[in-house]
């Protein structure tokens, strides 16, 4: 075979193709053009796969929006809210345009009071005070900024609140539990008559309405589990654990020694395909790894391979089984 192109030159062209394919998914001419290019040299298919994989990796860049490095409206960044409100149709088009690329769906700033996600969805909601609420799978919140209070109720699910600093208190209600702050980043989850919170920035006071107890003072690095009856437990977690618990923002699940049972419970939050562990010993095995939350099958297969189990699929159920060992 004649080698007219170096690997580097192929990589250059492959990058152009990866971008084109992403931008012009619906262009029918593109597919035939691509076929011609790919047929020109067998090495090109590898280079294209690699470039597309890099682009896929860069999708996590969406999670950087509003972070310190990209927050200032300098030459390289523009204000997101201005873009959507001021940009009018263009802003909406931009928001719609990314829907196919990123799994984070966005909504324009409107004085709507209720936001919800379906199973497996992640939704970023910019609120009118500059706070950004990011809703995890199967989550519902109500927002009411009236009467000198920024009030949000978490009806179900889990949400990350990046609360903008303001003189008005920001209060999240989760059942009878109240979380009050002036500025914080925290994620709150409501489940089984309990509320859990992870504070990564600022401070939060937590209490149970009408329980007559003194508020619990939480600061960055604190994680707390508060029951509706007022019992609570506060722990301190390190940054690694914080990242693990917030991996859902980028559609991932990190496992760092959780049991199969715990991992399965996590996966089952995100997909209609439910994993069932049919063996007690298997359920208690510990697992480590990184997975996409929308790929329970990949997790089940990994468990099967590493822990000598079998995977049985039955409609929407993925059953993890293990022959009884003698």
Partner 1 sequence: MGQSRPEIIAWVSGHVLPHEKDVRAWLSRHGIAADQIDDVVQEAYCRIAALDSVSHIASGRSYLFRTAQNILLEQIRRARVVRIDTVAEIECLNIVDDEPSPERIAAGRLELKQVEKLILALPEKCRKIFVLRRIQGMSQRSIAAMLGVSENTVEAQAARGLRLILTAMTEQTSTRPNGIREFGAKVRIRHGN
- Considering only residues 1, 26, 36, 58, which one is a binding residue for partner 1 as defined by CB under 8 A? 58
Any contact of residue 259 with partner 1 (CB under 8 A)? no
Q: By CB under 8 A, what part of segment 166-205 binds partner 1?
A: none
Cβ atoms within 10 Å of 243's Cβ, excluding its own: 14
- Considering only residues 113, 144, 240, 278, which one is a binding residue for partner 1 as defined by CB under 8 A? 240
Contact 277, 247 (CB under 8 A): no
Strand partners, 141: 115, 154
| Cα 72 from Cα 66, distance rounded (Å) | 8
| Cα 13 from Cα 276, distance rounded (Å) | 45
Residue with Cβ nearer partner 1 (153 or 295): 295
Say how many residues make up the chain: 326
Residue with Cβ nearer partner 1 (74 or 147): 74
- Considering only residues 37, 81, 85, 87, which one is a binding residue for partner 1 as defined by CB under 8 A? 87
Residue with Cβ nearer partner 1 (228 or 252): 252
- Considering only residues 115, 145, 170, 254, which one is a binding residue for partner 1 as defined by CB under 8 A? 254
95-103, 107-115, 137-145, 201-209 -> range binding partner 1 (CB under 8 A):
95-103
Any contact of residue 88 with partner 1 (CB under 8 A)? no
Phi-psi region of 248 (alpha: psi -120 to 50; beta: other; left: phi over 0): alpha
Any contact of residue 48 with partner 1 (CB under 8 A)? yes
Q: Mask: binding to partner 1, 99-138, rule CB under 8 A, as x and -? A: --xx-x-x--------------------------------
Any contact of residue 31 with partner 1 (CB under 8 A)? no
- Considering only residues 30, 34, 65, 169, which one is a binding residue for partner 1 as defined by CB under 8 A? 65
Tell me the HSE value of 14 on the side-chain side, using a 13 A CA sphere. Answer: 24
58-66, 176-184, 199-207, 228-236 -> range binding partner 1 (CB under 8 A):
58-66
Any contact of residue 81 with partner 1 (CB under 8 A)? no
Residue 5: CB minimum distance to partner 1, A = 11
Contact 90, 96 (CB under 8 A): no
Residue 72: CB minimum distance to partner 1, A = 11
- Considering only residues 81, 273, 274, 292, which one is a binding residue for partner 1 as defined by CB under 8 A? 292
Tell me the HSE value of 33 on the side-chain side, using a 13 A CA sphere. Answer: 12
Any contact of residue 245 with partner 1 (CB under 8 A)? no
Any contact of residue 60 with partner 1 (CB under 8 A)? yes
Phi, psi dihedrals of residue 244, rounded to the nearest 5°:
-65, -45
29-37, 92-100, 211-219, 317-325 -> range binding partner 1 (CB under 8 A):
92-100
Any contact of residue 51 with partner 1 (CB under 8 A)? yes
**Sign, CA torsion 164/202/58/271:** negative
**How many residues of this chain interact with partner 1, rule: CB under 8 A?**
74
- Considering only residues 83, 109, 138, 156, which one is a binding residue for partner 1 as defined by CB under 8 A? 83
Phi, psi dihedrals of residue 279, rounded to the nearest 5°:
-140, 125
- CA nearest neighbour of 251 among 293, 290, 288, 291: 293
Q: By CB under 8 A, what part of segment 294-313 binds partner 1?
A: 295, 297-298, 301-302, 305-306
């Amino acid at each position: 075979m004649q080698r007219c192109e170096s690997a580097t030159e192929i990589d250059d062209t492959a990058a152009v193709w990866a971008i084109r394919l992403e931008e012009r998914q619906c262009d029918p001419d593109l597919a035939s053009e691509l076929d011609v290019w790919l047929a020109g040299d067998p090495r090109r298919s590898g280079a294209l796969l690699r470039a597309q994989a890099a682009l896929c990796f860069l999708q996590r860049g969406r999670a950087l929006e509003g972070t310190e490095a990209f927050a200032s409206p300098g030459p390289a960044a523009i204000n997101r809210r201005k873009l959507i409100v001021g940009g009018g149709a263009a802003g909406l088009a931009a928001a719609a345009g990314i829907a196919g690329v990123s799994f984070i769906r966005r909504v324009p700033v409107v004085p709507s009071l209720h936001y919800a996600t379906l199973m497996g969805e992640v939704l970023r909601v910019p609120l009118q005070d500059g706070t950004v609420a990011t809703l995890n799978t199967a989550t519902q919140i109500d927002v009411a900024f009236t009467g000198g209070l920024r009030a949000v109720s978490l009806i179900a699910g889990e949400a990350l609140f990046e609360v903008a600093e303001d003189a008005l208190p920001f209060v999240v209600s989760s059942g009878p539990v109240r979380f009050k702050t002036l500025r914080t980043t925290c994620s709150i989850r409501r489940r089984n008559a309990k509320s859990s919170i992870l504070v990564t920035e600022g401070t939060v006071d937590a209490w149970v309405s009408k329980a007559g107890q003194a508020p619990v003072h939480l600061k960055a690095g604190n994680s707390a589990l508060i029951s509706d009856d007022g019992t609570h437990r506060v722990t301190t977690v390190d940054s690694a654990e914080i990242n693990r618990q917030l991996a859902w923002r980028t559609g991932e699940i990190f496992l760092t020694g959780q049991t199969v049972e715990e991992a399965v419970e996590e996966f089952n939050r995100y997909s209609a395909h439910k994993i069932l562990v049919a063996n007690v010993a298997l359920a208690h095995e510990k697992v480590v790894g990184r997975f996409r939350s929308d790929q329970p099958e990949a997790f089940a297969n990994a468990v099967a391979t590493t822990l000598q189990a079998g995977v049985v699929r039955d409609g929407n159920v993925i059953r993890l089984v293990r022959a009884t060992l003698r």
